[in-house]
Structure 1
Amino acid sequence: MRVAIAAVVAAAAGAVAAAPGPNPDSAFEVDVAHYRYDDSAYDYCYAEYPSAQTYAPVADAQLELVQAVVRHGDRTPVNYIAPRAGDEPWACDAVENTYLHAAGEPAQNTTGAFRQVIAVPEWNRQFGFENQIWRGSCEEGELTDRGKSQHHALGSQLRQVYVDKLKYLPAELSSTDAVYLRTTHIWRTKNSAESFLAGLWPRRSIAPDTAIPLHTYPKRIETMYGNYDACPRLNSLLSEITATDGYQRFLKDQGPLMARLAHTFGVSGSHWEGSWDGYFDALHARKCHGMKLPCAPSQNGTATAECATADDVAQVARNANYEWAYKYRDGPQAGVLTRLTIGSFVGTLRDQLQARIAGKTGALKLALYSGHDSTVWPLLAVLGADNHSTLWPPYTSNLVFELWKKQDGRRVVRVIFNGQTLRLSESAKWCDMDACPVDTFFARINQFIPTDIAGECAATS
């Protein structure tokens, strides 16, 4: 499959100067530059948050549980491009009130607070390694100071809704029984959760009985994103999907742009072939900070005029959005791919809701799951979100599931995405996301929950 994809990109290299044009055989319903994604009000850099001013509770009902699945905040790129002269530094200096304690001992502050500092030493430039990492205080893929502020703001907004307006969550967290917290093993999701909770309960002490347990799964059994090591069938499914005529037409149509940007970025290899993920990340991380877009490496010390443009950023976004939708929602085998990517985590959410209905969750009121775009996006595909809602999840995207009990005993689930009731596609309006009967909700998501994930992941067809 990689050979086929590479051939498409290589064949396009001779036409890198040509702008992508209409292709009547394209997989897109209209000209690829204007296919049906309304991104006029879309901002990848900032997600919208729920607002106490516009939020209204479900009528004649009592709130029983809130599950918040969030994407981490603003971060540095995870797809590395060698820095260019004049690049601005990345800042990740904010203090993190993190502490350690020995296993088996009380969760108390025995080591003192610390903050992580990424140091780029002065000798780095002297000995010629300056082109191996950018300037500043950040690692690749690290939460920036802006990302921490975004999650603090999100937590503050939810405090206005669930503490101040609804009186659902306690104003002060005297016991952690009301909160369940889980993140992936990656630091940016941990730091995002920490910042979120600092906004939700800003005066929380570090006393032992208020230390919130932070649950993570080992990387090898993680379920909050596609686990390709544990589930090898994901690789074969992706190969099948990208080999389809529709996806190959899409690659051919946009091949000239991909080839030109690969040259501009100075990148090559399978990671940069056949997918727009890396290009989207490299461009948008810089765009969100107002940084200069990448230019081609200098030749013999002479600067080049070949640079990525704002139009490139917009088209890469369209391509990346189409790619994700094709793979996880619209294309052949999309349902199976989504099931094996996020289905086990969907099962976690369902089981927690069912446990609350059965009265088995004790004092639990809020479950916070801090993950990635690859957590939020497949969940949106499971729910059948419309094209606007399935634009690439912005930093700090927040998908909230609320369980309400009506006065007559019936239970409903409300789904809120980035401050608004989730909108479904015309072909998938299976329920009212403002108050979906819980049995209808479970019937929908059960289709995506594997009963034998290990067996399904090992299957070849």
Structure 2
Amino acid sequence: MTLEFHSSLRNLPNPQFVMRVTVAALALGATGPALGLSPLDTFYPPNLNQTSYISNSSIGTYGGIYKAPTNGPTGGIPYGTYDYCSMPHPRTQEYELPEPIAKGSVKGKLIYLEYLQRHQRRSPYNILPGGENQAYQCDNVRPYLYAGPSDNNIMQPMPMYAQTYQDPSNPFTPGVNGTCQYPQITIGGVQDGFQHGKDLWGVYGEKLGIIPKEPNNRVWFRSSSSALTQDSAGAVLRGVWPAYKGALPLHQMVSSVDTVNEGYSCSAISSTLNQLELTDEWNEHLTVTENLRSQLGSMLGATSSSWQTTFDHFSDNFQARLCNGYMLPCSVSNSSECVTMAMADEVFRAGDWEWNYYWRTNPYVTKYIQVVEGLFIGEIVTRLQAVQNGESSIDYSHFFIHDGDIGPILGALGINALRETDAKSDQLYARVLYSGQPVQTIHGILDWLPLSSLIDILKPYVPEDITSLCG
């Protein structure tokens, strides 16, 4: 997700381009020729609010791409298609300036870029309870683990990296053989990250000049406390600055109070989730998918409530397999019983429906976004206000976060459908890009709107008193 802020001047000689916020995340899937979809169409299924979307096998994944080889970098064809694996993002080949600037009616200069992205592709969070019939291999990735003094004149530590192994004398097994921690960034995720960074440099460094040739005190980076987001940052930022020799600070909050990735304790998160999962709409979607959930549960030993009450776990497991060159799972006790692509497509459609319901259409959506992501949205608003007031000390901010952070932000913006992100003085304008394209919302296409209007859209999702709201 990208936020671009542009300062424009009409009829004045030296206008400034304010801020652009780009969101690059949550791209899901390949355009089915039978559907006649454009790449942009694949992000906005028209019937996603209805459970009939889940059961409609004729649409497959509604153009979504969920497959990639083990090695990257990858990219949907045609570019910009909803691609869960490769995460569409701004590239020089496709990037277009805001229409008023492109047509010359307004002169402008980009003066602030805020970039929010999820981690790159990875191994799964959720291992099948009945066991995995394929091993995940991560020997080709080195997760580095060491600490050293900030003073370079003091002896620096030996670089160390984690090497996962299993000892035959250990009676406990992780449920899957292989050499990965779960979840862990994969070699394809690292390679995608490098390309992602190169593409960002091409647009925002070479073309628009907002990213400096080397890091300076006008850039700022943050991740969650997860190794996934930290490893993604290393790959992406190396793609941005391939020749840079120094180290960079990647800011993180203490995990117990982190405002991303549901870091802080808030009982209202679970109570609000329970409320929305008691609605007629939620129960209808469970009825529609009852046979599929039963079949998958029996085949894969996934009969517990955590696997049967939502499609989060099945989606995660299947996506991680397909996005890293693995096959869909089979029963470990009967190798002829395997998940078919049609079954996986229905899982992905159900995951789309659930994601859209969580962050767009459930009757408690404003409160749910407030308790889950309201503090971070408040941080975004504060940064936007600093830009608006000419007080920002940063030109380029980059946040490495999670799908579960991008979803509520896109919900707060009023995205139309969410699949599993003037005259006499300077006028600040904002663009919100989702997977490289201006996001389509209930407020219109957010391609060129006053910065104050974007702030007004987000403000209702910032809680006035989070401690009282969380109980």
TM-score band w.r.t. shorter chain: 0.7 to 0.9
1:152 positional shift: 1.2
Which structure 1 residue ranges, 5 or more long, are not aligned? 1-25, 393-398, 400-404
Structure 2 CA distance for aligned equivalents of residues 117 and 297 of structure 1? 29
1:411 positional shift: 0.4
Q: Who is 1:222 aligned against?
A: 258
1:29 positional shift: 5.8
User: What is the number of residues matched between the two proteins?
Assistant: 399
1:292 positional shift: 2.5
Contact 1:231 1:457 in 2 (8 A): yes
1:339 positional shift: 1.8
Structure 1 CA distance for aligned equivalents of residues 374 and 324 of structure 2? 34
Identity among equivalent pairs (%): 24
Q: Who is 1:395 aligned against?
A: none
Asked whether 1:191 is paired with 2:231, we answer: yes
Normalised TM-score (structure 2)? 0.78
- Secondary structure at the aligned position of 1:447 is classed as helix
Which structure 2 residue ranges, 5 or more long, are not aligned? 1-47, 65-80, 102-106
Per residue, is there more helix in 1 or in 2?
1
Asked whether 1:373 is paired with 2:403, we answer: yes
Cα distance change, pair 311–406 in 1 and its aligned pair in 2 (3 A) = farther
1:252 positional shift: 1.5
Match of 2:428 among 411, 417, 423: 411
Asked whether 1:54 is paired with 2:116, we answer: no
Structure 2 CA distance for aligned equivalents of residues 368 and 168 of structure 1? 12
1:305 positional shift: 2.2
Cα distance change, pair 355–256 in 1 and its aligned pair in 2 (3 A) = same
Q: Who is 2:358 aligned against?
A: 327
Cα distance change, pair 230–85 in 1 and its aligned pair in 2 (3 A) = closer
Contact 2:148 2:157 in 1 (8 A): no
Cα distance change, pair 281–171 in 1 and its aligned pair in 2 (3 A) = same
Q: Who is 1:111 aligned against?
A: 156
Opposite residue 156 of structure 2, the aligned amino acid is T
Contact 2:439 2:446 in 1 (8 A): yes
Q: Who is 2:39 aligned against?
A: none
Structure 2 CA distance for aligned equivalents of residues 166 and 380 of structure 1? 25
1:435 positional shift: 1.0
Contact 2:374 2:463 in 1 (8 A): yes
Opposite residue 367 of structure 2, the aligned amino acid is V
Q: Who is 2:249 aligned against?
A: 213
- Secondary structure at the aligned position of 1:172 is classed as coil
Opposite residue 374 of structure 1, the aligned amino acid is G
- Secondary structure at the aligned position of 1:368 is classed as strand
Structure 2 CA distance for aligned equivalents of residues 330 and 113 of structure 1? 51
1:433 positional shift: 1.1
Asked whether 1:79 is paired with 2:79, we answer: no
Structure 1 CA distance for aligned equivalents of residues 143 and 154 of structure 2? 14
Opposite residue 93 of structure 1, the aligned amino acid is N
Structure 2 CA distance for aligned equivalents of residues 406 and 351 of structure 1? 26
Q: Who is 1:19 aligned against?
A: none
Q: Who is 1:421 aligned against?
A: 438
Cα distance change, pair 61–431 in 1 and its aligned pair in 2 (3 A) = farther
Match of 2:148 among 86, 90, 101: 101
Cα distance change, pair 294–259 in 1 and its aligned pair in 2 (3 A) = same
Q: Who is 1:30 aligned against?
A: 52
Asked whether 1:163 is paired with 2:189, we answer: no
Q: Who is 1:297 aligned against?
A: 332
- Secondary structure at the aligned position of 2:470 is classed as helix
Opposite residue 28 of structure 1, the aligned amino acid is Q
1:385 positional shift: 1.3
Structure 1 CA distance for aligned equivalents of residues 174 and 142 of structure 2? 26
Normalised TM-score (structure 1)? 0.80
Q: Who is 1:455 aligned against?
A: 468
Contact 1:92 1:143 in 2 (8 A): no
What is the alpha-carbon root mean square deviation over aligned residues?
A: 2.6
1:254 positional shift: 0.7
